[in-house]
Amino acid sequence: MDSRPIGIFDSGIGGLTVLKELVKILPNEDFIYYADTKHIPYGNKSQKQIIEYSKNIVEFLISKNVKVIVIACGTASSLAYPYLKEHYNIPIFNIIKPIAQSIKDKNIGIIATKSSVASHVWENEISKYNSNINIHLVACPVLVPLAEKGLQNTFISKQYIKHYLKEFKDKNITSLILGCTHYPIFYEQITEELGNNINIINVGTPLAIDFKKFLYDSSLLANNTGNITYIASGNYNAFMHKLNKRNRLLVYSVCQII
């Protein structure tokens, strides 16, 4: 048993979709969720910038005595994970590897941020486990700002989703990976656009399964009360408003980093 909290970070509210899956499967773990709202969005930033932001967050979480860190961000998973893994001794999980290991379909689509798509990390990681998969990637840069503004299930979000997903219309994909953790917020509209025959994959689900197994195998599971501490690097009130509006998870405490 290890009662220390688990650190998890994203640029904003997108990582809550991962946190939700972790809380489902690990209700007795405490979490510290760091939203780097000061630097959102990550998807249009350089690799150097993403590494710098991620380094600062990891070091902050380590100072809070976390036992493991989860990168609940597609862009940081793509651009910063190799650096973080090499330079820090603490176990660090990203959202890409669990999907890459588990995907069995032969013809898949992936939607992600511009930086993630440009990095080619998704193709490279998936090909390690199955080189016969046809992968079709599409960048969806506007979806993160729309999610952060609470504009899911609106006419404007529907139009952008229709625009982005039209790239898959003649590709005969059988699964679509939501490669940014903000994208499950648009799950209903994405399903409506593609139809029920396409398997929509939330990256948080396979991550949570792998993560629980790792904690068990490493004797790191806790028997805590399931507290969640939320931390925002940017505007405190704006983050609180978004958090309360989503109202998906218990808020234990919210702190602002100055």
The verdict on 71 and 168 lying in the same domain is no
The verdict on 82 and 115 lying in the same domain is no
Which has the higher per-residue pLDDT, 254 or 197? 197
Alpha-carbon distance of 193 to 19, in angstroms, equals 26
The verdict on 191 and 106 lying in the same domain is yes
Alpha-carbon distance of 17 to 128, in angstroms, equals 26
9-28 tens-digit pLDDT: 999 999 999 999 999 999 99
| 254 confidence band (pLDDT: 50, 70, 90) | very low
Q: Cα-Cα-Cα-Cα dihedral of 115, 32, 246, 110, to 10°? A: 30
The verdict on 170 and 230 lying in the same domain is no
What pLDDT, on the 0 to 100 scale, is given for residue 117? Answer: 95
Does residue 35 lie within any of the structural domains?
yes
What residues make up the domain containing 16?
6-94+205-256
Q: Is the pLDDT of residue 4 over 50?
A: yes
The verdict on 101 and 196 lying in the same domain is yes
What pLDDT, on the 0 to 100 scale, is given for residue 246? Answer: 60
What's the number of domains the chain is made of? 2
Q: Is the pLDDT of residue 224 over 80?
A: yes
pTM of the model: 0.91
The verdict on 61 and 108 lying in the same domain is no
| Domain end call among 179, 203, 227 | 203
Does residue 225 lie within any of the structural domains?
yes
In three-state form (DSSP H/G/I as H, E/B as E, the rest C), the secondary structure along 38-71 is CCCCCCCCCHHHHHHHHHHHHHHHHHCCCCEEEE
Q: Is the pLDDT of residue 249 over 60?
A: no
Does residue 1 lie within any of the structural domains?
no
100-154 tens-digit pLDDT: 999 988 999 999 999 999 999 999 999 999 888 999 999 999 999 999 998 988 9
DSSP3 helix / strand / coil % (the chain, rounded to 5): 45, 20, 35
What pLDDT, on the 0 to 100 scale, is given for residue 104? Answer: 86
The verdict on 198 and 209 lying in the same domain is no
Does residue 222 lie within any of the structural domains?
yes
Alpha-carbon distance of 144 to 248, in angstroms, equals 18
| 250 confidence band (pLDDT: 50, 70, 90) | very low
Spatial CA neighbour of 28 closest among 227, 211, 218, 249:
227
What phi and psi, each to the nearest 5 degrees, are found at residue 27? Answer: -70, -15
| 255 confidence band (pLDDT: 50, 70, 90) | very low
Per cent of the chain over pLDDT 70 is 95
Contacts of 83 (CB under 8 A, 6+ apart): 51, 54, 55
Averaged confidence pLDDT in the chain: 91
The verdict on 192 and 114 lying in the same domain is yes
The verdict on 15 and 55 lying in the same domain is yes
Is the N-terminal amide bond of 141 cis, ω within 30° of 0? no
Does residue 179 lie within any of the structural domains?
yes
What pLDDT, on the 0 to 100 scale, is given for residue 247? Answer: 52
The type of residue at 139 is A
What pLDDT, on the 0 to 100 scale, is given for residue 258? Answer: 34
Does residue 223 lie within any of the structural domains?
yes
128, with CB counted inside 10 A (0-12, 13-18, 19+), is exposed
What pLDDT, on the 0 to 100 scale, is given for residue 253? Answer: 42
| 168 confidence band (pLDDT: 50, 70, 90) | very high
Residue identified by tokens 């399931």 is 226
Q: Is the dihedral of CA 120, 102, 139, 85 positive or negative?
A: negative
Which residues does the annotation mark as catalytic?
73, 180
Alpha-carbon distance of 14 to 18, in angstroms, equals 8
The verdict on 107 and 199 lying in the same domain is yes
The verdict on 101 and 199 lying in the same domain is yes
Which has the higher per-residue pLDDT, 93 or 257? 93
**CATH code at 38?**
3.40.50.1860
The verdict on 186 and 124 lying in the same domain is yes
